[in-house]
Amino acid sequence: MALIDPFQRAITYLRLSVTDRCDFRCVYCMSENMTFLPKKDLLTLEELDRLCSSFIRLGVEKLRITGGEPLVRRGIMTFFDGMSRHLDSGALKELTLTTNGSQLEKYAADLYAAGVRRVNVSLDTLDEAKFAEITRWGRLAQVLRGVDAALKAGLKVKINVVALKDFNEVELFDIAAWCADLGMDLTFIEVMPMGDIGNENRLGQYWSLDDLRGSLAERFTLTDLPDRTGGPARYVKLGETGQRIGFITPLSHNFCESCNRVRVTCTGEIYTCLGQEGKSDLRGPLRASEADAPLEDAIRAAIGLKPKGHDFDYSRQELGGQMSRHMSHTGG
């Protein structure tokens, strides 16, 4: 029996964080001095497999692996290799991941062998100095080698760019051209009010994608596309280059009415809405019994609490609906 929420939306998409750790410290995602979870609190790779297998039995067809940085989790390819059996059976239609790209040079070929066909790479600037500034610990050259390795391995790459006012505005056309040259899709994301990030001013960082789209329209002919990839992005085609560009707008235009996804953290907490604090525990029932029935009951109960939508709002020039947890905790 499929997972149907109280608003008759079928839940077919699970975003699973496999670690809260990352080798970057992006300013809109983490504090520089993060305190990470003790290992005992994290689901083991075997538990992650059981959890995902239960969701797939209940109708989840798309599984996206996130973090932190998922590829820094020790032994993570064992998990990907295990999930490939659900691709082989046809129960799982897509296995994919979101990554900062730092480990793709090492793992791209193995990911393809496990059945991964698409990866999203989070990359907000092509300027080496600005990249070091926004990631704190990252090195742009390492990420660019990872992107090249992914393309060489046969993976389709989409670049995710968080739109940040007074930071990457001037790179809009450079990033678009780079993606067009390499045949990569590009999605811009509005910055979201998540977590305690010290002196960073989210309202000051906010660059409306309506404004960004307007800038693109000054140089290109934009045609709206009906394409839906199971996520929140809305797409346009640039007439002059033929490339597809997506916009994820949780703030200026939310997309809650069609939400088909839930998020599970690396500790087994399920969040049925990224923009709400409500959560349910799946680790308890997962560890309480070797049988899967208690876990599946807990999943159904959590889906039954899924809200209609979130409360993010910058329209009043204040941080309405601001979340206290870090993006790295929920997995984006």
The response to whether 25 counts as a known ligand-binding position is: no
What whole-number distance in Å separates Cα of residue 49 and Cα of residue 43? 10
**Residue 263, annotated as binding a ligand:** yes
Residue 213 assigned ligand-binding role: no
Dihedral in degrees, nearest 10, Cα atoms 249, 250, 253, 254: 130
Q: Is 27 annotated in some ligand binding site?
A: no
Strand, helix or coil for residue 220:
coil
306 is in an annotated binding site: no
Residues in Cβ contact with 262 at an 8 Å cutoff, skipping those fewer than 6 apart: 11, 13, 14, 15, 270, 271, 272, 302, 303, 306
- DSSP β-ladder status, 269-271 and 280-281: antiparallel
324 is an annotated ligand-binding site residue = no
Q: Is 266 one of the annotated binding-site residues?
A: no
User: Was 72 annotated as part of a binding site?
Assistant: no
Q: Is 98 annotated as a binding residue?
A: yes
Q: Give the pair of three-digit tokens for residue 121.
A: 């790479």
Rounded distance between C-alpha atoms, residue 208 and residue 317, angstroms = 12
15 is in an annotated binding site: yes
Q: Report whether 52 belongs to an annotated binding site.
A: no
184 is in an annotated binding site: no
Which residue is associated with the tokens 């997972």? 3
Is residue 22 part of an annotated ligand binding site? yes
Residue stretches of the annotated binding site for [4Fe-4S] cluster = 22, 26, 29, 256, 259, 273
Residue stretches of the annotated binding site = 15, 22, 26, 28-29, 64, 68, 98, 122, 158, 192, 256, 259, 261-263, 273
Residue stretches of the annotated binding site for S-adenosyl-L-methionine = 28, 68, 122, 192
Residue stretches of the annotated binding site for GTP = 15, 64, 98, 158, 261-263
